[in-house]
Structure 1
Amino acid sequence: MNQPPLDRAAFLRTLRRCHTEEQLFSRLTFACLAQYDEAQRPELLDDVRGAAYSLRLPAVEYKTDQWLHRCQDAIDTDRDAFLAAANAEARRENDKMRAEQTPVGPGVLADVPLQNVDWLVPDLLPRGELSLLGADGGTGKGLWQAQLIACVTTGKTSGFFPVPPAQTGKVLILAGEDDPGKVLKARLLAAGADMNRVLCLTADDYFQRTGQPLTLKDEALAKFAAKAGPLLLIVDPLQSFLPAGVEMASRNQMRSILLPLKAIAAARQCAVLLVMHSNKKQGVSDRKRLADSSDIWDMARSVLMMGRSNSDGKIYLSHEKSSYSRPQQTVLLHIEDVELDGVRTAQAVFDGYTDKKDADFIKEPRVRQAQTKEDTRDAILNVLAESRLGSMASSELRAAVVKEIGCSDHTYNRAYSELVRSGEVTKCTIRQRDGRNKWYSSLYCSETSGKVQKL
């Protein structure tokens, strides 16, 4: 057998020629591994495991250990026979490669087999491809991701993901902003994710260990993906892992940077979710909200956009692009505070679906929202004070307050109930001329409060 060049690239080329379990866990692969220095072998063994994950083999660790023991026992029994068999395998592989070598040219579609799309999340996130999530600040993109991670690691279903994934597995997070201990772990626990299946690498931690920033073009990223074997790789945010000096408005630069990541997705058959902050441009939707590069949008096979409705402040997640299926309905959600073992965090709560898309929400007229119950309370008192006699029909009061500050029904009910309990507002029923009763609200207490009066 010919002595290979003693570099990792040569060994990786050997592994890329392995398309079956028999080819990968063969005497030839072992013989190639044995010709490298012992210090290199642990890293090369990780490459073997990565190739096994790419072939989607079950029980990779077990098969690797069995292969190593089997080959070592064969060498100990008859080294010459083992090497002769490995050389014979090498000659067969070389003959096969020469027979298959043809000039590069276009293929005939008639010869291309039809394939179904392999989905991680049905009709939303395809495996082996790049997907994109763009979000305004404060809309809870990380909290929605926590729900996604819970689904992938446990198979948990919810309003967000009503259909379980075909396969559960690991998630690898490249975190550029959120601290694993202070932020990520609590929100993932609140969502119900399996912590043993979540791996995280932060940009700060990698820099502290290596003195170099981690970028999407680094070979280290491919190594992490090969070792972890994730079903889902999240890059959040994308901007934290771009090389220095990159102009996001340059299509050629962005395509060059994303191609290695696309190759990782294809080789590992994992879904890659790129997360981006939306820009501050007013009145724009879809791709115009994402930095200045349309190439990211074009390369992604699925694109999701998060934002807040102008009319009622509701958070929405709109499926804006899908290359392999019909875009899914827009999800509506809100955020609730929770506490776990004394640690405060938050979680995304599913509210329902709508057919409205990102552009529909952006075009809505902006309404000043009541931020707190106190805003609504003050508005109720002001409207009553400005009304004739300081009293008005309760239904008219509600309509006037909602029109003025755009509060929700829930906030109005809470504020109104507190004012009634405190005695600042009283309500009574007045019988109309037609014999029907109608509720009135007043700033002034009276002996007839709560009683039926005749008008």
Structure 2
Amino acid sequence: MTNNASQVVKAIDEARRAVVGASIIPLATVSPQPIEWLWRPHFALGKLSVLAGHPGLGKSLVTMDMAAHVSTGRKWVDGSHCPKGSVVLVSGEDDPGDTLRPRLDAAGADVNKVYYLKAVCDMEGERGFTLADVPALTSMLGRLKDCRLIIIDPVSAYLAGTDSHNNAEVRALLAPLAQMAGDHRVSVICVSHLNKAQGEAIGRVTGSLAFVAAARSAYVVSRCKDDPKRRLMTPLKNNLGADLAGASYRIGETIMDGLGGVPFVTWDLDPVNISADEALAPTTGHESTVADAIEFLRDILRDGPVKVNEVKAEANAAGLSPRTIERAKAELPVIAQRFTEGNNGRGYWTWKLGEASKAATSKAANPAIQTGGLTEDGSTMRVPEDTGGVRPPTSGLADLPEKQGARETFRL
């Protein structure tokens, strides 16, 4: 009798799930909508994204910096708009007390708007979160209506028994998460690791290719081959924005009372225009010399500022690799300057030659690139000596004044 009952229930369930038709809508009834950005053109609101890289390169620090920007509404390093809202951290590796909170403070976050997902609750009490618990996240977003960013770090810790190498299973697990992101206009960033395989960068993200396929944008963090202190964040794919628009950063350290040194990200001002494949490619040993690149830059910049994309196009035509140009730029007193157009944060970068004395004066006068000394509250601030980026405001530090039009210039 029991077996018969089970068979009846199974038959009813199969009949209920049987496909009997399809639902379609004419696109003429769909209103075109602009893409909303968390950080143009890298991470969009309402979409799933992936940030992958080997351990020790600062992926989690990047996400803490992003949380700081979103919680305060502070503009991104390139001057583009950052929507202000709440942030939810789903962290399986970092302790909220001795790691997450200090790093958020160092990055200048408004911790009143940053939340740590401790557990989910069911009829038996609290238990650990998995990606099968999207209904719990959806319920949370119903209460936290201003949430704009959810960080899942690492995504591999929350697979709910799913085989991470099975495309179908991973897609089925991520689909509700992507749907939730779209419904609530929240950007979901999944942090992942890289495997040791060779070949195209898109196959280097740990687990199934479905992780990258489900994401609308995916970025890889790698160490710069010519400057070990510099980290590159390069696009693996970007379905919504420029697929050669990357960024670079270095890791600074601030001394906090009772905590010692706490790391934070300091972004370089100059954009990175190489792909993840180029960033992860092994060195060939046949690159042009830096001396040639130095002479090239002196010649092309002799008459004044030139747009960066034009410089790099001419360099490519001259057979000079991007890495060699970057090394030559570091040795010359090249000044990068960004010009904005309109109020949407869009603009362009230029390079120009500058006297070393002027570059040194600019660096000493600008608190964004100090290399030592005391902060306003008397604590010590340490920033990598070769940084060309901007350190975030921290406790006791005055925010840098915003500028209209051309941003301040820095020696890079």
Shorter chain as normaliser: what TM range? 0.5 to 0.7
In structure 2, give the amino acid aligned to 1:318: T
1:195 CA drift (Å): 0.5
Provide the C-alpha distance between the structure 2 equivalents of 1:123 and 1:301, rounded to a whole number of angstroms: 11
For residues 51-70 of structure 1, the C-alpha deviation after alignment (integer angstroms, 9 at most, x for no partner) is: xxxxxxxxxxxxxxxxxxxx
For residues 243-271 of structure 1, the C-alpha deviation after alignment (integer angstroms, 9 at most, x for no partner) is: 02x21111111011112211221221111
Which structure 2 residues correspond to residues 17-416 of structure 1 after superposition, within 5 A?
Answer: 104-159=22-77, 161-165=78-82, 167-202=83-118, 210=125, 212-218=127-133, 219-229=135-145, 230-244=147-161, 246-281=162-197, 283-313=198-228, 314-327=230-243, 329-343=245-259, 344-351=261-268, 352-365=270-283
Provide the C-alpha distance between the structure 2 equivalents of 1:298 and 1:121, rounded to a whole number of angstroms: 20
1:164 CA drift (Å): 2.1
1:137 CA drift (Å): 0.6
For residues 76-106 of structure 1, the C-alpha deviation after alignment (integer angstroms, 9 at most, x for no partner) is: xxxxxxxxxxxxxxxxxxxxxxxxxxx8433
For residues 261-315 of structure 1, the C-alpha deviation after alignment (integer angstroms, 9 at most, x for no partner) is: 112212211111111111122x444221112311111111111110113343231
2:236–2:277 CA contact under 8 A, matched in 1: no
Provide the C-alpha distance between the structure 2 equivalents of 1:354 and 1:123, rounded to a whole number of angstroms: 13
Give SS of 2:181's match. helix
Give SS of 2:222's match. strand
Give SS of 1:162's match. coil
Relative distance call for 1:311 and 1:366 in structure 2 (3 A) is farther
Provide the C-alpha distance between the structure 1 equivalents of 2:99 and 2:160, rounded to a whole number of angstroms: 26
Query: For structure 1, which segment, 145-154 or 211-220, has the greater mean C-alpha deviation from structure 2 after superposition?
Result: 211-220
1:350 CA drift (Å): 1.6
**Higher-RCO chain (CA-CA 8 Å, sequence separation at least 6):** 2
Provide the C-alpha distance between the structure 2 equivalents of 1:127 and 1:109, rounded to a whole number of angstroms: 23
The alignment's C-alpha RMSD in Å is: 2.6
For residues 335-365 of structure 1, the C-alpha deviation after alignment (integer angstroms, 9 at most, x for no partner) is: 1222112312101112232222221122242
Give the aligned length.
262
1:132–1:273 CA contact under 8 A, matched in 2: yes
1:366 CA drift (Å): 8.6
1:122 CA drift (Å): 2.2
Give the share of equivalent positions with the same residue, in percent.
Answer: 27
Query: For structure 1, which segment, 319-328 or 227-236, has the greater mean C-alpha deviation from structure 2 after superposition?
Result: 319-328
2:246–2:274 CA contact under 8 A, matched in 1: yes
- The structure that is helix-richer by fraction is 1
Give SS of 1:354's match. coil
Provide the C-alpha distance between the structure 2 equivalents of 1:197 and 1:353, rounded to a whole number of angstroms: 29
1:157 CA drift (Å): 2.6
Give SS of 2:132's match. coil
Give SS of 2:251's match. strand
1:220 CA drift (Å): 2.2
Give SS of 2:131's match. coil
In structure 2, give the amino acid aligned to 1:365: T
Provide the C-alpha distance between the structure 1 equivalents of 2:165 and 2:234, rounded to a whole number of angstroms: 24
Provide the C-alpha distance between the structure 1 equivalents of 2:166 and 2:34, rounded to a whole number of angstroms: 33
Aligned to 1:60: none
For residues 384-443 of structure 1, the C-alpha deviation after alignment (integer angstroms, 9 at most, x for no partner) is: xxxxxxxxxxxxxxxxxxxxxx9x98xxxxxxxxxxxxxxxxxxxxxxxxxxxxxxxxxx
Relative distance call for 1:241 and 1:364 in structure 2 (3 A) is same
Provide the C-alpha distance between the structure 1 equivalents of 2:40 and 2:227, rounded to a whole number of angstroms: 30
Higher Rg: 1
Provide the C-alpha distance between the structure 2 equivalents of 1:260 and 1:273, rounded to a whole number of angstroms: 14
TM superposition score normalised by structure 2: 0.59
Provide the C-alpha distance between the structure 1 equivalents of 2:200 and 2:226, rounded to a whole number of angstroms: 16
Give SS of 2:117's match. strand
2:234–2:279 CA contact under 8 A, matched in 1: no
Give SS of 1:353's match. coil
For residues 194-249 of structure 1, the C-alpha deviation after alignment (integer angstroms, 9 at most, x for no partner) is: 1100001146x989x945331111232322232223111111110111102x2111
2:244–2:275 CA contact under 8 A, matched in 1: no
Provide the C-alpha distance between the structure 2 equivalents of 1:366 and 1:192, rounded to a whole number of angstroms: 41
Provide the C-alpha distance between the structure 2 equivalents of 1:107 and 1:318, rounded to a whole number of angstroms: 37
Query: For structure 1, which segment, 255-264 or 176-185, has the greater mean C-alpha deviation from structure 2 after superposition?
Result: 255-264
List runs of 5+ in structure 1 lacking aligned partners.
1-102, 368-405, 410-455
Relative distance call for 1:315 and 1:261 in structure 2 (3 A) is same
Provide the C-alpha distance between the structure 2 equivalents of 1:355 and 1:265, rounded to a whole number of angstroms: 28
2:46–2:185 CA contact under 8 A, matched in 1: yes
2:248–2:271 CA contact under 8 A, matched in 1: yes
List runs of 5+ in structure 2 lacking aligned partners.
1-20, 286-326, 332-412
Query: For structure 1, which segment, 305-314 or 294-303, has the greater mean C-alpha deviation from structure 2 after superposition?
Result: 305-314
In structure 1, give the amino acid aligned to 2:128: P
